[in-house]
C-alpha cells in the first residue's frame, strides 16, 4: 500500500519518497523496457561488477530514475530514495546497512556521469524510442 501526502505545492507524493506521482514511474515499465534501462547495481557496461546482495530491485529503480533524469535536484532525490529503499531492505542487519550507505556514497560521488541531465524528465514518448 502506498500512502500519499500533500506537499506545500499541492502535489501528492508517495509517503517517504520524493518522486512526483504525475511522472513516469518504474511500475509503468514493461519487462522489456526494464531490461534495456536497468541492470541492477553498478554502472551499465562498467568494468567493475557491483554485487546486488538483496538490493537489485532498489538498484533497478535507481537506474530508471537516472534514465528518466532531469535536474541535479532530481538526481539527489533519486539517490536519497535509493538509500531509503536499501535501508528498508536491509532491516536491522548492520552489515547490509553499511553496504547501503557505501552504495549511496558511490552514486553521490560518481553517479553524475550516468545521470540524464535535461530540462525535462524523460516521459512515456521516450520509452517508445527505446524500441525504434
Our CA dihedral for 25, 35, 60, 29, rounded to 10 degrees, sits at 10
- Report the alpha-carbon distance of residue 5 to residue 119 in Å, rounded: 26
Residue 63, number of CB atoms within 10 A of its CB: 23
- Report the alpha-carbon distance of residue 55 to residue 88 in Å, rounded: 10
| Mean pLDDT, residues 103-117 | 95
DSSP H helices in the chain: 31-37, 56-68, 72-90, 94-110, 124-129
The domain segmentation of the chain, as residue ranges, is: 24-129
Evaluate if pTM is beyond 0.85.
no
**Tens digits of residue pLDDT in 16-65:** 455 554 578 898 899 999 999 999 998 887 777 788 778 999 999 999 99
Query: Who's near 112: CB < 8 A, 6+ residues apart?
Result: 75
DSSP state of 54: T
Amino acid at each position: 500500500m502506498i500512502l500519499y501526502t500533500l506537499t506545500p505545492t499541492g502535489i501528492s507524493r508517495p509517503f517517504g519518497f520524493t518522486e512526483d506521482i504525475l511522472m513516469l514511474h518504474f511500475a509503468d515499465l514493461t519487462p522489456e523496457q526494464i531490461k534495456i534501462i536497468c541492470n541492477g547495481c553498478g554502472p551499465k557496461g562498467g568494468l567493475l561488477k557491483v554485487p546486488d546482495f538483496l538490493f537489485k530491485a532498489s538498484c533497478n529503480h535507481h537506474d530508471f530514475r537516472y534514465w528518466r533524469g532531469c535536474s541535479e535536484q532530481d538526481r539527489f532525490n533519486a539517490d536519497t530514495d535509493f538509500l531509503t529503499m536499501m535501508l528498508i531492505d536491509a532491516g536491522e542487519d548492520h552489515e547490509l546497512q553499511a553496504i547501503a550507505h557505501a552504495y549511496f556514497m558511490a552514486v553521490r560521488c560518481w553517479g553524475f556521469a550516468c545521470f540524464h541531465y535535461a530540462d525535462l524528465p524523460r516521459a512515456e514518448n521516450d520509452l517508445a524510442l527505446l524500441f525504434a
